Structure 1
């Protein structure tokens, strides 16, 4: 059967032809200066093929770099998110510490009568009985606390110590129905007795004559009578006066100056002759340990 296509030169013959052409091209390129232009054109024609041949490798390199960069971004994002969360938590604690530090500074800056020593104490618990306004603080007999001792915040009188344990004490607030404190009007020194009425934001003056010289807005301070509370500390501000002639006495309501519903740090007061070793003297500014 005849072959449809005639066979061409043998492989060896083809190799010789290619070698001959290659040698001729190199000789021409070496000897003929004008062949440089042709070589430039030939290189230009071959360049697209080179780019196409390099394209798969370039795409693999780009993909590898892109995936690595994305993974790095995800890791960096996770790390930064964790760091931000930790920093926010620290910032919250710093805000609380700053607030507590400000409160302590206000306590130490509170005016103390001559000869009175003080010690900072912290609120431990609040009495859950709605009819009893009492709190527990973290100073007790080992710190020199005694029955009837005056307790203040940075604004005014809070109450007095009613029970003393070894390491803590119970304080009866001035708003408790069983508490009474001698007071005087700062404006004119008129003297009265202020009783708690079971409302944390209110106390009442007892047996106030209709003709008494008192006004809304008058400041009540401790009178020093009874020798329980030192004289001259803020107690309350008169907010309401009702003079009903059908009643034997005027009804006078005052608002405690101390923040009884927001207590945190408090001051315990001692006379100089009873002050324990850890108490701060009136002219000292450092915190006691």
Structure 2
């Protein structure tokens, strides 16, 4: 019996650790230290990039049930539904083909008119397909995660569209994934023009997926409900001509210099599964440690930074909220 009491004293059933208040205090201190380090020191970007790569398999695993469900729905879908969808797609293809018959003539005419006006050549945009694999859990942020990253040629500030219009822009890039800020976010703004008359404005996010607002629109501006807003190309971040939104309310306020204008985004911000990234660059994988050491010991002439292919693309996180020009 005495030996049993000694064993119970040596191996107690419940071991009392630090109090909950002390654990909470340590967690708060650690959180503030990490936030200060992230704000103050640039090397935390490398840590964030490494952590993002580390959680990429987890993100793929979370997306796996959706992929399996989509595959199962495709395999076991009803034959009649597939036939109806096939007929609808054929009809749509014929309609687009009829509209495309005069496209070559219109393009040639546009080129001739540009030559007569001595205008600048239009944009030759390239595309890369991406898939949405995650959503931001913060209710006050409108961001999505896509399965393309630095190794695929994605860069910060890259414009993202879907089949209907502008979705947003890339704000964070890791090796295999990227984070896209949607145009509905309150920190996002994009220069637009009214397609009917060329009136320029700034479309800002309101925090709602179904509404944008146009800031500082003069009371006498020629805008109407139903006008189409497209990207203006000002600032060089968003190529011109991509649909953004459709005006749904224009409220003139007597005695005030600006009208209250709201618009409805055309892109399916809450439902788009696939997106297009405009003008991807050549893939740039992360440099190895040996390459960094060689760069540090290189001569001053060799260590000068190279000029980027697109000098207008943003290279810092300070301008990820859109163009305000």
- For normalisation by structure 1, the TM-score amounts to 0.57
Q: Verify: 1:266 aligned to 2:251, yes or no.
A: no
How far apart in 2 are the matches of 1:89 and 1:127?
Answer: 27
2:76 aligns with 91
Could you tell me how far apart the structure 1 residues matched to 2:78 and 2:176 are? 27
1:15-44 CA-to-partner distances (Å, cap 9, x unmatched) read xxxxxxxxxxxxxxxxxxxxxxxxxxxxxx
Distance 1:191 1:89, change over 3 A: closer
The SS at the match of 2:76 is: helix
1:157 maps to: 166
- State whether structure 2 residue 187 is matched by structure 1 residue 202: no
Q: Which has the larger radius of gyration?
A: 1
Report the Cα distance in structure 2 between the residues aligned to 1:89 and 1:178, rounded to whole angstroms.
38
Alignment of 1:1-289 (within 5 A): 90-92=75-77, 114-270=123-279, 274=281
Equivalent-residue separation in structure 1 for 2:73 and 2:220 (angstroms) = 60
Q: Give distance in 2, aligned partners of 1:89 and 1:183.
A: 39
CA RMSD of aligned residues (A): 3.0
Q: 1:93 to 1:123 in 2, by over 3 A?
A: farther
- Taking the aligned partners of 2:127 and 2:74, their CA distance within structure 1 comes to 34
Does the residue aligned with 2:77 lie in a helix, a strand or coil? helix
Q: Which residue of 2 aligns with 1:55?
A: none
Q: Secondary structure at the match of 1:247?
A: coil
* Structure 2 CA distance for aligned equivalents of residues 251 and 213 of structure 1: 13
Residues 176, 223 of structure 1: alpha-carbon distance in 2 compared, 3 angstrom cutoff: same
Counterpart contact for 2:151–2:283, Cα < 8 Å: no
Could you say what secondary structure the match of 1:92 adopts? Answer: coil
CA distance in 1, matches of 2:157, 2:134: 19
State the 1:247 CA deviation.
3.1
How far, CA to CA, are the matches of 2:125 and 2:73 in structure 1?
42
For the 8 Å contact 2:123–2:239, the answer to whether it is kept is no
CA contact (8 A) 1:219 1:238 kept: yes
CA contact (8 A) 1:175 1:196 kept: yes
Q: Deviations over 1:189-239 (max 9, x none)?
A: 000000001000110000000000000000000000010100000000000
Cα offset for 1:89? Answer: 8.2
Aligned residues between the structures: 180
Q: CA deviation at 1:245?
A: 1.8
Consecutive unaligned residues of structure 1, counting only runs of 5 or more, are: 1-86, 278-289
The CA distance in 2 between the partners of 1:159 and 1:148, in whole Å, is 9
SS at structure 2 position matched to 1:227: coil
Q: Secondary structure at the match of 1:162?
A: strand
Say whether the 8 Å CA contact 2:214–2:262 is kept in structure 1.
Answer: yes
Cα distance in structure 2, aligned partners of 1:172 and 1:248: 31
TM-score (normalised: structure 2)? 0.51
Aligned structure 1 segments of 4 or more residues deviating by more than 6 angstroms: 93-96
